[in-house]
Amino acid sequence: MLRSWRVKLKLLLATVTLAVLLSWLYLFMGSLEYGRFLLLPPCLGEQPSRDVEREALASRVRRVEEENQQLRMQLGQAQAEGSDGSPPWGASTEDGDPPGSERGNRTACPKQRTVHKCELLHVAIVCAGHNASRDVVTLVKSILFHRKNPLHFHFITDSVAHQILQTLFQSWMVPSVHVSFYNADDLKAGSCPYFALSSSGHVTLQLEVSWIPNKHYSGIYGLMKLTLTKALPSNLSKVIVLDTDITFATDIAELWAVFGKFSDKQVIGLVENQSDWYLGNLWKNHKPWPALGRGFNTGVILLLLDRLRRLGWEQMWRLTAERELMSMLSTSLADQDIFNAVIKQNPALVYRLPCFWNVQLSDHTRSEQCYTEVSDLKVIHWNSPKKLRVKNKHVEFFRNLYLTFLEYDGNLLRRELFGCASLPSPPSNQLQQALEELDEDDPCYDFRRQHLTQHRVHLFFLQYEFLALPDPTDVTLVAQLSMDRLQMLEAICKHWAGPISLALYMSDAEAQQFLRYAQASEVLSARHNVAYHIVYKEGQFYPINLLRNVALANTQTPYVFLTDIDFLPMYGLYDYLRNSIQQLELPQRKAALIVPAFETLHYRLTFPKSKAELLSMLDMGSLYTFRYHVWPKGHAPTDYAKWRTATVPYRVAWQPDFEPYVVVRRDCPKYDQRFVGFGWNKVSHIMELDAQEYELLVLPNAFMIHMPHAPSFDISKFRLSAGYRGCLQTLREEFHQDLSRRYGAAALKYLTAERSL
């Protein structure tokens, strides 16, 4: 009898086990079908909306679970009938739940607070200098890639980062993204805390933090996060604070939802430090700042600003810093040391974030304990000075994830958040209206569409340290280029010692290739007066005049030399131009100095060191006047015959299609951006200089030489496409009409000259 019951019991247990396994297997396969893996942490992700098929699947799973409940009850009854009253083997506290109760579907995780899809999330980032401004873009891309909510970025910046990031976001025009700037230079020094509004319109705050000695490589800006309760608007109640070396691998709304888990006393959310730094055992006589246990890392912080203000955060951290500095003398890890010292004294203030919200990739960390699957990764923190060269068993995977966002096309992140009302943006609305007014049946639609394209612009992509001196004759070389002309940069830097402003037309991936090229070049890395401005690719035409305007607008000298990247200026031209500007008293007159252009068909050229050498090479046929055999009208008015014997500058008159390379004041007219690709981009500019009554003066001892290269894609289209040439003619006629409206009768000569050709 006993043996019979044992057989029945084993059979029933096997049936229950099989049913449970089948139900979980079915659920797993269904999850794969809909792109959701059971390996994902069950309480962290936002539950996707379920369609009819998913509801049917859920119903079937519930039926299977009810059958399991009934089987367990039958098993319990059978065991009770044949037992001595002792509790059945394998029973749990849930076994007595009635069928259909919710306990069978219960999760071990606390209920996750959801974030409304249109709730505005606030993110604060301290960013200073050229390099940090470049790094923070990768962080922003990773956030935008995953986000489903409107975002408000609060940047605490120096003047350099403010200019770079303000231009970037204005030109990026990402929907439902708002940006505010706060002056870090005022945050770091001052004798009396007070709010003010700077001349540029962004909030500033005078607050002393410069009195805190800091050994960390972040410098004084590594202390700025301590000041956020005063730096950020008083009506801002909570904010996520991030370092620039962070990469997100999930929706930031998941992190924002953690605010809902804070107790009434908790005000700061932090991840435990994953190194042994605060344990004080890294080397002999290692003495870190006081910390609670292993301490906390401040690369990712959740701040309840309203509670911190009520607690008197400002006085709290100041008193703590003053007390500890009496023995520590300086901070080693910037604001992180002070945050930890405060938490040591007030442990109830901190909410411990799970460590996957800040996987710290510095050497010798316990970061590998934060993840067992790829799906566990939420935030990666490159908090080692070595950055991507850090030692970690899985660093190759992390590096590839970072590089994905580094080279990701930022234009693809301009996606709308449907269902969320966005604040009105006048530039965006005007652009949208202009695009809607375009006629798609217009044969020149593509040209007009390119003209209206809003390109992302990243100014000063590399370190730029040129300080404009109060020199009324200083001049900057201005040019534009794409990836296929990079080889010209080193040669130009060897020929021109003065400041240079370059606009580079590149994709996100090409910009990173350029960065590596420039950093590896001894010539380029030694020059700090060369400004590189990235204009990101978009559209089918090369926006040549937009590029010229970007490079022109970001010069700092009174005069500019408007040239093209394919030309090498003569040795010493920088000093010669400055002397000429002074001798000709250009500050008191309206003039454009013409630098005569020549060309060679040889890729290897012994560059002439003087005008006499150039004339000799011209006579021998190794040099030619520029485009004499293809486009003589473009430079013939320079009067090369007169230039051969000239010893003083001479004046020339404007003629149709004249397009010399000139030196003018920085406030000269902008290039007309309707001209894209090949044709009339310089001609139109010289025409407007003449319309504004600029004198055209040819310099007698200046010259530049065009180096050979393969034809550009746009000139090939011009030569092969009658439609291309027809649209260029249409744009020329429209330009003439606009010129006549601006300059009246004085512009009639251009229309007359055009018709006489």
Tokens of 490: 């080193």
Q: How is domain 457-755 classified at the CATH fold level?
A: Spore Coat Polysaccharide Biosynthesis Protein SpsA; Chain A (3.90.550)
Of the candidates 165, 161, 209, 202, the residue with the CA atom closest to the CA atom of residue 187 = 209
* Contact present, 533 and 504 (Cβ < 8 Å): yes
pLDDT confidence band for 471 (50 / 70 / 90):
confident
91-100 CB contacts, 8 Å cutoff, 24+ apart: 97/69, 99/66, 99/69, 99/70, 99/73, 100/66, 100/69
pLDDT confidence band for 18 (50 / 70 / 90):
low
Residues 583-616 have pLDDT tens digits of 999 888 999 999 999 999 888 889 999 999 999 9
Contacts of residue 555, Cβ cutoff 8 Å, sequence gap at least 6: 476, 478, 499, 501, 531, 666
* Contact present, 172 and 179 (Cβ < 8 Å): no
Across the strands, what pairs with 695?
A: 591
Of the candidates 447, 439, 434, 431, the residue with the CA atom closest to the CA atom of residue 676 = 447
The residue with greater pLDDT, 223 or 590, is: 590
722-743 helix and 683-691 helix, angle to the nearest 10 degrees: 10
Residue 5: Cβ within 10 Å count: 14
How far apart CA 729 and CA 755 sit, in angstroms, is 12
- Does an H or E element contain 752, and which? helix 748-756
Averaged pLDDT, 496-519: 96
Q: Is 276 helix (H, G, I), strand (E, B) or coil?
A: coil
Q: Identical fold at 121-191+203-410 and 457-755?
A: yes
pLDDT confidence band for 30 (50 / 70 / 90):
very low
Q: Is 358 helix (H, G, I), strand (E, B) or coil?
A: coil
C-alpha distance from residue 755 to each of 319, 401, 732 (Å)? 80, 59, 12
* Contact present, 358 and 272 (Cβ < 8 Å): no
Which amino acid is present at 351?
Answer: Y
Pinpoint the alpha helices (H) of 568-712. 573-583, 611-620, 640-645, 683-691
Of 49-63, 135-149, 338-352, 363-377, the least confident: 49-63
Q: Is 661 helix (H, G, I), strand (E, B) or coil?
A: strand
What sign results for the dihedral spanned by CA atoms 585, 586, 590, 596?
positive
Averaged pLDDT, 475-497: 95
Which amino acid is present at 549?
Answer: N
Domain edges within the chain: 121-191+203-410, 457-755
pLDDT confidence band for 555 (50 / 70 / 90):
very high
Q: How is domain 121-191+203-410 classified at the CATH fold level?
A: Spore Coat Polysaccharide Biosynthesis Protein SpsA; Chain A (3.90.550)
Q: How many CA atoms lie within 13 A of 320 on its CB side?
A: 23
Quick one: pLDDT at residue 550?
98
Q: Is 569 helix (H, G, I), strand (E, B) or coil?
A: strand
52-81 helix and 2-33 helix, angle to the nearest 10 degrees: 170
What sign results for the dihedral spanned by CA atoms 348, 354, 356, 357?
negative
Phi, psi of 100 (to 5 degrees): 85, -5
Quick one: pLDDT at residue 631?
82
The residue with greater pLDDT, 581 or 13, is: 581
Residue 349 has pLDDT above 80, yes or no: yes
Quick one: pLDDT at residue 38?
35
The mean predicted confidence, pLDDT, of the chain is 82
* Contact present, 737 and 730 (Cβ < 8 Å): no
pLDDT confidence band for 151 (50 / 70 / 90):
very high
Residues 89-143 have pLDDT tens digits of 333 333 333 333 333 333 344 445 578 889 999 999 999 999 999 999 999 999 9
The residue with greater pLDDT, 185 or 673, is: 673
What sign results for the dihedral spanned by CA atoms 224, 227, 230, 232?
positive
How far apart CA 478 and CA 525 sit, in angstroms, is 19
The residue with greater pLDDT, 37 or 679, is: 679
Distance of CA 695 to the CA centre of its chain: 42
Averaged pLDDT, 334-354: 93
* Contact present, 567 and 661 (Cβ < 8 Å): yes
C-alpha distance from residue 726 to each of 439, 447, 751 (Å)? 17, 11, 18
Residue 205 has pLDDT above 50, yes or no: no
What sign results for the dihedral spanned by CA atoms 395, 396, 397, 401?
positive
Of the candidates 435, 449, 535, 539, the residue with the CA atom closest to the CA atom of residue 727 = 449
In the sheet with 359-360, reading across from the earlier edge strand, the strands are 246-248, 379-381, 359-360
The residue with greater pLDDT, 242 or 224, is: 242
What b/e readout covers 248-281, taking b as 16+ CB neighbours within 10 angstroms? Answer: bbbbbbbbbbbbeebeeebbbbbbbbbbbbbeee
Tokens of 504: 């580079």
How far apart CA 387 and CA 303 sit, in angstroms, is 26
Residue 114: Cβ within 10 Å count: 12
The residue with greater pLDDT, 425 or 406, is: 406
How far apart CA 344 and CA 647 sit, in angstroms, is 79
How far apart CA 181 and CA 161 sit, in angstroms, is 10
- Write out the E strands in 487-607: 500-506, 530-536, 559-562, 567-569, 591-595, 597-599
How far apart CA 387 and CA 406 sit, in angstroms, is 14
Tokens of 599: 């060309």
Q: How many CA atoms lie within 13 A of 257 on its CB side?
A: 18
How far apart CA 683 and CA 663 sit, in angstroms, is 15
Name the pTM for this structure.
0.81
How far apart CA 497 and CA 537 sit, in angstroms, is 30
* Contact present, 168 and 461 (Cβ < 8 Å): no
Residue 694 has pLDDT above 90, yes or no: yes
How far apart CA 339 and CA 334 sit, in angstroms, is 9
The length of the chain, given as a count of residues: 757
Of the candidates 519, 409, 501, the residue with the CA atom closest to the CA atom of residue 460 = 501
Tokens of 591: 């003039």
In the sheet with 151-157, reading across from the earlier edge strand, the strands are 194-197, 203-206, 177-183, 151-157, 121-127, 238-242, 296-304, 268-272, 350-353
